[in-house]
Amino acid sequence: MSSEEIDLHASLKKYFGFSQFKGLQEDVIKSIVEGKHTFVIMPTGGGKSLCYQLPALIQEGTAIVVSPLIALMKNQVDALRGISKENGIAHVLNSSLTKGEIKQVKEDISNGITKLLYVAPESLTKEEHVEFLRSQKISFVAIDEAHCISEWGHDFRPEYRNLRQIIKRIGDAIPIIAVTATATPKVQEDIMKNLGMTSEANSFKASFNRPNLYYEIRPKTKNVDADIIRFVKQNQGKSGIIYCLSRKRVEELAQVLQVNGVSAVPYHAGLDAKTRVKHQDMFLMEDVDVVVATIAFGMGIDKPDVRFVIHHDIPKSIESYYQETGRAGRDGGEGHCLAYYSYKDIEKLEKFMSGKPVAEQEIGHALLQEVVAYAETSMSRRKFILHYFGEEFDNETGEGGDLDDNVRNPKKKHEAQEDVVK
Ligand code: ADP
Ligand code: MG
């Protein structure tokens, strides 16, 4: 073992209190410490932040972290401040700061106190900031949620596309670290191309297999509500999330469940903040078993023992489906992912897109076609998902290879289409 490795483990323990790296973290960190351009794909919860935080803490200079969400930046900065007596160890630079605060941030950077500087892409484009950062020692630039660069990602942000030029102006030789949980080859290619990451960049991709999740698709008939009630009752006492497309459906289904003796609460962005927090807490504290929600629910929610995720309506991409089903079985225990599918719902989703720019519609359509293929396939669902993410999977030898409806009960394709009313 080289002294470097010992150091990394010691730093991991010292700063984060962990005694082991998770997955590919150590290799990623070595690549960053060596000053290489580094591209990291790991599923949500894989521990991507630590991949750039640790090298930032042990290297000279300030690492710039580009992140799309102020809330996410704040969380990370607070956590980092908790590990140091020095408040200036991490800062956020954004438009909400006063002149005085900005001055303080810049002083801390100049004095070598600040190891991580979190910025939104908009702030990084500001000329005065670029000028200032040019004159500082920057260890590297980490781009979190790097899929925002790609129109094929689920969260495209135009500001992300100019990052490369700005980074170049801050410093020609600054290593770039791009991290994302989006694994489709298309998005990956886009990111690398846009950032000018060539063959000399190091790429790391963790497996996206979730071996403890069971995937199942059922045809969506007019009896879908009764079917859901039956399922939930069979799983009484277990925590579950039911996703619906519209707020109205969320309300209706939550009520239907309540009337049928299931403890359930609704959650969507139309509820006032107080109610949302209350319902979320009820779910987290297990005062209710089930939350019926739009996709507004889930971001940043970390309940380890969610035992089922039901999609009353099929999501608009395989990625959304993967993210949402991924909230089941975080603790490694059972997680049943059940989605109801009818082609009518696909048509509905197509219709929603019709007002959007043509290019966006085309992408949306292509993503939806993959969902159709997934829902209608008779092959292993796990194999399909992993293939979509550019990963080979062998059901005979791979972990969780027998955990989906198509593998468990191979059936003829047309059966899945029967009785589709809605
Ligand atoms: P991601 O950004 O990939 O979704 P995060 O960086 O938010 O994931 O990390 C997810 C969780 O994993 C966090 O609670 C973090 O503290 C934890 N974690 C990260 N690295 C380790 C490790 N080496 N050992 C134990 N827990 C870790
Ligand atoms: Mg993250």
* 253 C-alpha to ligand 2 centroid (Å): 32
Higher-confidence position of 300 and 112: 112
Sign of the CA dihedral running 392, 40, 12, 68:
negative
DSSP letters, 255-294, are HHHHHTT--EEEE-TTS-HHHHHHHHHHHHTTSSSEEEE-
Q: Which ligand is nearest to the CA of 21?
A: 1
Q: Exposure pattern of 246-264 as b/e (b: 16+ CB <10 Å)?
A: ebebbbebbebbbeeebbb
Residue 334, pLDDT > 80, answer yes
Atom 27 of ligand 1: nearest residue by CA position: 47
Residues 92, 93, 94, CA angle at the centre, nearest 5°? 110
The pLDDT tens digits for 196-205 are 998 889 999 9
pLDDT of residue 187: 93
* Whether the CB of 44 sits within 6 Å of ligand 1: yes
Q: 254 CB contacts (<8 Å, ≥6 apart)?
A: 264, 265, 266, 292
Looking at the CA of residue 46, tell me the nearest atom of ligand 1: 3
Q: How far is the CA of 73 from the centre of ligand 2 (A)?
A: 10
Q: Closest ligand 1 atom to the C-alpha of 144?
A: 2
Separation of alpha carbons 328 and 308, rounded Å: 6
* pLDDT of 1 higher than 50: no
Residue 46 Cβ contacting ligand 1 at under 6 Å: yes
Q: Are 57 and 15 in contact (CB under 8 A)?
A: yes
Question: Which helix (H) or strand (E) is 29 found in, with range?
Answer: helix 25-33
Q: Residue 8's CB: how many other CB atoms inside 10 A?
A: 20
In this predicted model, which residue has the larger pLDDT, 155 or 181?
181
When pLDDT is averaged across residues 125-149 and rounded to a whole number, the result is 96
The pLDDT of residue 13 is 96
- Which residue type sits at 393? F
Q: pLDDT digits over 193-252, tens only?
A: 999 998 889 999 999 999 999 999 999 999 999 999 999 999 999 999 999 999 999 999
Query: From ligand 2's centre to the CA of 44, what distance in Å?
Result: 7
| Whether residue 167 has pLDDT greater than 50 | yes
pLDDT tens per residue across span 380-400: 999 999 999 999 999 999 999
Q: How many CB atoms lie within 10 A of CB 88?
A: 17
The predicted model scores a pTM of: 0.85
User: In this structure, are residues 188 and 153 in contact, taking their beta carbons and an 8 Å threshold?
Assistant: no
Q: For residues 78 and 70, which has the higher predicted lDDT (pLDDT)?
A: 78
- At 96 the pLDDT is 86
Q: Which ligand is nearest to the CA of 42?
A: 1
* ipTM score of complex: 0.99
Asked if the model's pLDDT at residue 419 lies above 90, the reply is no
Q: What residue type is 196 in one-letter code?
A: G
Q: Which ligand is nearest to the CA of 82?
A: 1
Q: What is the pLDDT of residues 249-302, one digit of tens each?
A: 999 999 999 999 999 999 999 999 999 999 999 999 999 999 999 998 887 677
| Ligand 1 contact via 48 beta carbon (within 6 Å) | yes
Q: Is 18 a pocket residue for ligand 1 (Cβ < 6 Å)?
A: yes
**184 CA → ligand 1 middle, Å:** 22
**pLDDT value at position 420?**
44
Q: Whose CA is nearest to atom 9 of ligand 1?
A: 47
Query: Which atom of ligand 1 is nearest the CA belonging to 48?
Result: 3
CA–centroid distance, residue 361 to ligand 2 (Å): 28
pLDDT at residue 300, rounded to an integer:
67
pLDDT at 417: 52
| pLDDT of 155 | 83
Higher pLDDT, 200 or 379: 379
Query: Within the chain, how many helices (H) and strands (E) appear?
Result: 17, 13
> 125 pLDDT exceeds 50?
yes
Mean pLDDT over all residues of the chain? 93
- Identify the residue whose tokens are 């048509």: 347
Q: Tell me, in angstroms, the distance from the centre of ligand 2 to residue 343's CA.
A: 34
Q: Residue 231: what residue type?
A: F
Cβ of 47 closer than 6 Å to ligand 1, yes or no, is yes
- To test the pocket of ligand 1, the residue of 50, 53, 322 to mutate (highest count of ligand atoms within 8 Å of its CB) is 50
For residue 4, pLDDT over 60 is answered with no
Tell me the C-alpha distance between 211 and 333, whole Å: 10
- Report the alpha-carbon distance of residue 160 to residue 150 in Å, rounded: 9
